[in-house]
Amino acid sequence: MTVSTIVSWAVVIGGLLLLLKPMGTYMYKVFTFQPTLLDRPLKPLENLIFRIIHVTRDSDMTAWEYGVSFVLTNMVWALMAYTLLRVQGALPFNPEHFSNVNAGLAFNTSASFTTNTNWQAYSGENTMSYFSQFAVLEFLQFVTPASGGAVGLAFIRGVSGRKLGNFFVDLTLLLTRVLLPLALIFGVAFVAAGVPDTLAPYLHLHTLAGQTQIVPRGPIAGWEAIEHLGQNGGGFTNANSANPLENPSAMTNVLQSIAMGLVPVAFFYMFGLFSGKKRLAWTLIAVAGTLFLAMLAMIYFPEAAGNPIINALGLHGHGNYVGTELQQGMGGTSIFETSTMSFTTGSVASAHDSFLPIPGLAVFLGMFLNMVFGGKGVGLMNMLMFVILTIFLMGLMVGRTPEFLGKKIEAKEVSLTAIAFLLHPLLILAGSALAVSTSAGMAGVFNAGPQGLSEILYGFTSGAANNGSAFGGLGASLPFYEVAIGITMIIGRYASVVVMLLVGESLLQKKAVPETSGTMRTDTPLFWGILLGSVVVLNALTFFPIMALGPLAEHYLLVAHHLFS
C-alpha cells in the first residue's frame, strides 16, 4: 500500500468523521427552526416562497399527504424534463446543434434524473445541449435529492415522536440552507482546482499529427458540485469522473468523495439529535462504517494484487489497472468507487466492467444493502428498516414484544417494513429474469458467461437502488432497457419510501412505553454486532444465489484460468 493511498483514504474518512457532527448539528437547527448564521440572507426569500405556496414553517402533513406531495411533485418535474428534452433542438444554449432527444431516451432520462438515480443511457457530450445539461438535468440534481431528503426528515420526526412536518417547507429548506450553499462552496473549489465552467462552444484543436480533435467543455464545475453533494452521479461527460475535465487531480478526487458522504452521514447524526439517542446514532454510524471499510478492502486489495492469470505468467507486482484512470492510482480509485457505491451516488472514476470479480461483488454490495449511509435521508430510512427487522427477530427469540425508541413494534410496522425490504430484491431479480428470458433483453448483452449475467443484474440493481452507475458492456440504450430500467427506477424510488413513511406515522401515533430491565438496548456494542449480522444474513439469503452465478462463479473460473471469448 502506497503513501498516497494511505493519505487519500485518511483525508476522506477523517474529513467525514470531522464534519459529520457540525454538519448534523447545523441541519438539526435548520429543521427545528433554531437561529443559524444564514437566517439574515435567506429567511426573507424563504418566507416569500412560503407565502406564494400558502404554507408556514410549522405546518404539518399526514404521512399520506406528505407521500402524495412527494410523488406528484416529482411527476411534474419528470413531465417537464421529458418535454424539454423532446424539443431540445429548438431551445437556446445549443452551440453544437444537438437534435431533439428521442422518445425512449427522453423517458429513461427524465425517469432517471427525477428519481435521483441519474442512470445515463446516453453520452452527455454527444447528446445533450448546454440548456438540457444545466437548465433541465442540473435543475433535477438539486430538487430531487432535496425531495428524498425531505421524506427522510419526515421519517426521522415520526420515529422520534414528532409531527412529520410539511413536504414543501422541508424541500425549500434543504435547497436554500443545505444544497445551494454547499454547491457554491464546492463549485468554487472545483473551478480553483482546474475543472472548467463555461458556456463557450467546444474546442476544435489541431493535433501534432495533423488531425482535428474536439474537446468538449461546458458548465462542468457547477455540475460536479451538485452531482456529488446530491448523490446524483450522472456525469457531464460519458466517462464521468474518469474524465480529467470532471476530475483532474487527486485533490478533486478527494473533494468529490467527501462531497458524496457529507450530507448522508450528517443525517445519521441529526437522527440522534432528533430522537435524543446520540449513542444509537453512533452505533448506526459504526455499522455503516464497518460495511464501508469492508467494501473498500474488497475493492482495493484484489485489484492491487492483480489478475491471477497475468500473475501466473510471472508478471507479479502489477495491479489490475484495466479501466482505471491512472492519475488517481489504485488507492484514489478504490476510495472513490467505495464512496460512490456506499452513498448511492453512481458517479464513477473507473470502468466497473473491468474490475476483477471480487471488487465487482463489492460494488454490488453497496447497492444491495442500500444503507451504507446511502443517499441523504433515504439511506437512514433503509438502515432503520433493518433496525426494526432486527429488533423484531430478536423479540421473537426471547419471547417479548419488540420496542424501538419507546414504541412497541407490532404487526402493522413489521408488515410494512417487510414490504419495503422485499420490494428491492423483487425489482432486481424480476427485471433480471425478464431480461435473460427474452430476446430483447439478451440483445443488449455483449459479454459471454457470468460477466454477461452480472451486466444485466447490475443494470437493474443500479436502477432499483437509485444508484445510476453502469457496469458497462450492456446495451442500455436499447428500447427494452430504456423502458424496463426506467420503470424499475420509478418503483424503486417511490414505493418503498412511501411505505416507510407510513411506518414512521404508525410509530408516531403509538404511546411511549417506559424502558424496563427487559428492554433491548440499541446503543451498545452487542446491538452493533447483532444489527451487522442481521444485515449480512438477510442480504446473503436474498442475493447469494444470483451472486453465485455472477461474480462468484467468475472468480472461481478466473482462478482456474478459464476465459470467455
State yes or no: pLDDT of 85 exceeds 70.
Answer: yes
d(CA 87, CA 142): 22
Mean pLDDT of 66-84: 94
Cβ atoms 252, 191 nearer than 8 A: no
To the nearest 10°, report the CA torsion of 144, 146, 151, 157.
180
Mean pLDDT of 379-396: 88
Parse the chain into domains and list their residue ranges. 278-324+350-559
**At 95, is the secondary structure helix, strand, or coil?**
coil
pLDDT band at residue 352 under the 50/70/90 scheme: confident
d(CA 544, CA 324): 28
Position of cell 446524483? Answer: 232
The better pLDDT of the pair 66, 401 is held by 66
Residue 173's nearest CA partner among 77, 46, 341, 307 is 46
- Gap between the terminal Cα atoms of the chain: 33
Mean pLDDT of 387-398: 85
Position of cell 483514504? Answer: 9
Largest CA distance in the chain: 81
Residue 387's nearest CA partner among 370, 404, 401, 374 is 404
**At 237, is the secondary structure helix, strand, or coil?**
coil
Cβ–Cβ contacts within 10 Å for residue 498, how many?
19
Q: Are strands 407-408 and 403-404 parallel, antiparallel or unpaired?
A: antiparallel
The predicted-structure confidence for 159-210, as pLDDT tens digits, reads as follows: 888 899 999 999 999 999 999 999 999 999 999 999 998 888 888 888 888 8
Cβ–Cβ contacts within 10 Å for residue 341, how many?
30
For the chain, how many helices (H) and strands (E)?
A: 22, 4
The reported pLDDT for the residue numbered 309 is 85
The predicted-structure confidence for 102-140, as pLDDT tens digits, reads as follows: 998 899 899 889 998 888 888 888 899 989 988 899 999
The reported pLDDT for the residue numbered 316 is 67
d(CA 156, CA 72): 22
Those residues whose C-beta lies under 8 Å from the C-beta of residue 128, and which sit 6 or more positions away, are: 88, 98, 101, 122, 137
d(CA 128, CA 340): 24
Q: What number of CA atoms fall less than 13 Å from residue 272's CA on the CB side?
A: 20
d(CA 269, CA 266): 5
For 188-197, 397-406, 489-498, which range has the lowest pLDDT when averaged over its residues?
397-406
The reported pLDDT for the residue numbered 505 is 87
d(CA 246, CA 64): 40
DSSP characters over 340-371? HHHTT----SB-GGGS-HHHHHHHHHHHHH--
Strand extents, DSSP E, 32-134: none
Q: What percent of the chain has pLDDT over 90?
A: 53
Mean pLDDT of 218-235: 89
State yes or no: pLDDT of 490 exceeds 80.
Answer: yes
Residue 503's nearest CA partner among 397, 401, 386, 393 is 386
The reported pLDDT for the residue numbered 496 is 84
CA 31 to chain centre: 23
Mean pLDDT of 20-41: 94
For 82-86, 259-263, 507-511, which range has the lowest pLDDT when averaged over its residues?
507-511
pLDDT band at residue 23 under the 50/70/90 scheme: very high
Q: Give backbone dihedrals phi and psi of 15, rounded to 5 degrees, phi first.
A: -60, -45
d(CA 307, CA 559): 9
Mean pLDDT of 342-357: 88
d(CA 465, CA 162): 28
Q: What percent of the chain has pLDDT over 70?
A: 98
Cβ atoms 255, 193 nearer than 8 A: yes
**At 57, is the secondary structure helix, strand, or coil?**
coil
Alpha helices of 351-448 — where are they, by DSSP H? 357-369, 378-398, 411-436, 439-442
Residue 24's nearest CA partner among 230, 226, 266 is 266
The predicted-structure confidence for 306-341, as pLDDT tens digits, reads as follows: 888 888 887 766 788 887 877 788 889 999 999 999
d(CA 532, CA 549): 25
DSSP state of 201: P
Q: Are strands 203-206 and 407-408 parallel, antiparallel or unpaired?
A: unpaired
The reported pLDDT for the residue numbered 516 is 67
The reported pLDDT for the residue numbered 518 is 65
Q: Are strands 407-408 and 212-215 parallel, antiparallel or unpaired?
A: unpaired
Q: Are strands 403-404 and 203-206 parallel, antiparallel or unpaired?
A: unpaired
Cβ atoms 12, 339 nearer than 8 A: yes
Average pLDDT, the chain: 89
d(CA 532, CA 26): 29
State yes or no: pLDDT of 392 exceeds 90.
Answer: no
